[in-house]
Amino acid sequence: MTNWILGEKFTEKYSHLSGVKALWETKWKFPATKGVYPFHDGKYEDFAPIFEKLIADNVNDGYSDKYTEYFLPTAERLTDEALSAQGSDRAKAADLFKRACAVYRISRFPSVDAGSGLKRKIYETQKQVYLRGASLWDTPLKEVIIPHTAAEGEDEKEIPLYVRLPAGASKDKKVPVVLLITGLDGHRPDNSARTDEFTARGWATVITEIPGTADCPAARRDPKSPDRLFTAILDWINRQPNFDSQKILAWGLSAGGYYAIRVAHTHHTRLLGSIGQGAGTHLFLSREWLDQVDNHEYPFILSHAYVLKYGYKDWEDLKQNAQKDFSLVESGIVDGPSCRLLLVNGTWDGLMPIEDSILLFSHGRPKEARFYEKMLHMGYPPANESIYPWMESVMATAS
């Protein structure tokens, strides 16, 4: 029995899990008024009427098509307004496209593979709308499809990336690169603010999704598929005339944090550093942790999304096998050399235990960390105050 830092909260069922009404009123409503996670580019006035209808109709299953359908009229209206505005006011149109994408994002939450296929269709629409809006930015973002040159087994043959360059990037002015690794339910179109931060610092952005989610071509059941994925992506970055391949940082978000830690070791000679934010490494896939994870802070039950991501037969199959298949400790990966590695999280993370970051200090080379006392998953809201300065300092050391 692990002595979890969560203490009594480890076995507590969090209040927002009693239904959409509780989710909205106790977890999402106040952040939405501030325009922060999980709505990112969305606005409170876009979401409040939707949740009022969901509550009134007692729709509580976020994995269902019915839940998704409530968001579509608002997303479609915002898209139409953006299309109407783009000829006369590019800035207004870009903002409206972002708002539409925020609504689409929550509509296909928490897994694009749930339900009948509607959520997957909505994700395709979200990407189209997002790229339309991103083409209006002063420094546009675009999709690039690259060959998966390291593909094996059940890997697919192409890797879709989002790429954004800062102003002035050229073969004569190569720019540093941030490889942004997305999470379980946040995908490529959900990172506008982060790419703004990178662009403002003169860094390029390359965004990839993780195995078992969205458009990632890496085989979900093969523990080594992410290593091949990152080999292909880093090889491609190395060939780009505008990129400084000697200045690459990786940043993994939530479930992507696991992959940021993994790539920090498997590709340590090719990265300046890596950030595992809200990351799991070993205990997050233990039966003891997984037996409680559906009661913690994820907006809906997490187990269904996990089964879809990892590709196990069912939840029991996952609890029986996932840790031995994917643990970075049992595989010995974290005992090998690594690049500089920053670990960031809240000590009360109920999705990825803070113990998974702490145990890394007993493996491999020395690590760096910032843990936020009594904060939840990812250490938000204050986490970025540590991450961006760290990135700046690491980039500066390579100048």
Is there a single domain that holds both residue 124 and residue 145?
no
Instruction: Flag whether 278 is in a domain.
Output: yes
Is there a single domain that holds both residue 208 and residue 151?
yes
Cβ count near 326 (within 10 Å): 21
Is there a single domain that holds both residue 147 and residue 116?
no
Q: Which of 265, 282, 377, 386 is catalytic?
A: 377
Instruction: Flag whether 286 is in a domain.
Output: yes
Euclidean distance between CA atoms 176 and 364, whole angstroms:
27
Q: Which of 349, 357, 363, 386 is catalytic?
A: 349
Smallest CA-to-CA distance from 53 within 40, 71, 39 is with 71
Instruction: Flag whether 150 is in a domain.
Output: yes
**368: domain CATH number?**
3.40.50.1820
Smallest CA-to-CA distance from 220 within 305, 300, 140 is with 305
Q: Which of 225, 254, 327, 357 is catalytic?
A: 254
pLDDT of the residue at 41:
87
Is there a single domain that holds both residue 72 and residue 177?
no
Is there a single domain that holds both residue 105 and residue 219?
no
Is there a single domain that holds both residue 127 and residue 239?
no
pLDDT of the residue at 39:
82
pLDDT of the residue at 398:
81
Is there a single domain that holds both residue 132 and residue 200?
no
Euclidean distance between CA atoms 193 and 274, whole angstroms:
19
H or E segment and range at residue 180: strand 175-181
Which ranges of 184-252 would DSSP assign to H, the alpha helix?
192-200, 225-239
Which ranges of the chain would DSSP assign to H, the alpha helix?
20-23, 29-34, 44-56, 65-69, 72-85, 90-107, 118-134, 192-200, 225-239, 255-266, 287-293, 303-310, 315-326, 355-358, 384-397
**What length is written for the chain?**
399
Instruction: Flag whether 10 is in a domain.
Output: no
pLDDT of the residue at 357:
98
pLDDT of the residue at 169:
85
Predicted confidence pLDDT, tens digits, the chain (399 residues): 789 999 999 999 999 999 999 999 999 998 877 767 678 889 999 999 999 999 999 999 999 999 999 999 999 999 999 999 999 999 999 999 999 999 999 999 999 999 999 999 999 999 999 999 999 999 999 999 999 999 999 999 999 999 999 998 888 889 999 999 999 999 999 999 999 999 999 999 999 999 999 999 999 999 999 999 999 999 999 999 999 999 999 999 999 999 999 999 999 999 999 999 999 999 999 999 999 999 999 999 999 999 999 999 999 999 999 999 999 999 999 999 999 999 999 999 999 999 999 999 999 999 999 999 999 999 988 999 999 999 999 999 886
Q: Is 267 a catalytic residue?
A: no
Domain limits at 83? 16-136
Q: Two tokens at 223?
A: 């523990």
Instruction: Flag whether 228 is in a domain.
Output: yes
Euclidean distance between CA atoms 181 and 367, whole angstroms:
20
H or E segment and range at residue 163: strand 158-164
Give yes or no for a contact between 220 and 309, defined as CB atoms under 8 angstroms apart.
yes
Boundary (domain end) residue, out of 136, 165, 187: 136
Is there a single domain that holds both residue 270 and residue 371?
yes
Is there a single domain that holds both residue 147 and residue 164?
yes
Boundary (domain end) residue, out of 106, 136, 166: 136
Instruction: Flag whether 397 is in a domain.
Output: yes
Threshold 0.85, pTM exceeds: yes
pLDDT of the residue at 2:
86
Give yes or no for a contact between 186 and 160, defined as CB atoms under 8 angstroms apart.
no
pLDDT of the residue at 143:
98
Is there a single domain that holds both residue 36 and residue 69?
yes
Is there a single domain that holds both residue 246 and residue 389?
yes
Widest pairwise Cα distance in the chain:
63
Give yes or no for a contact between 157 and 178, defined as CB atoms under 8 angstroms apart.
no
Q: Is 235 a catalytic residue?
A: no
Instruction: Flag whether 116 is in a domain.
Output: yes
Instruction: Flag whether 62 is in a domain.
Output: yes
Q: Is 327 a catalytic residue?
A: no
Is there a single domain that holds both residue 72 and residue 153?
no
Give yes or no for a contact between 188 and 209, defined as CB atoms under 8 angstroms apart.
yes
Count of domains for the chain: 2
Boundary (domain end) residue, out of 136, 155, 174: 136
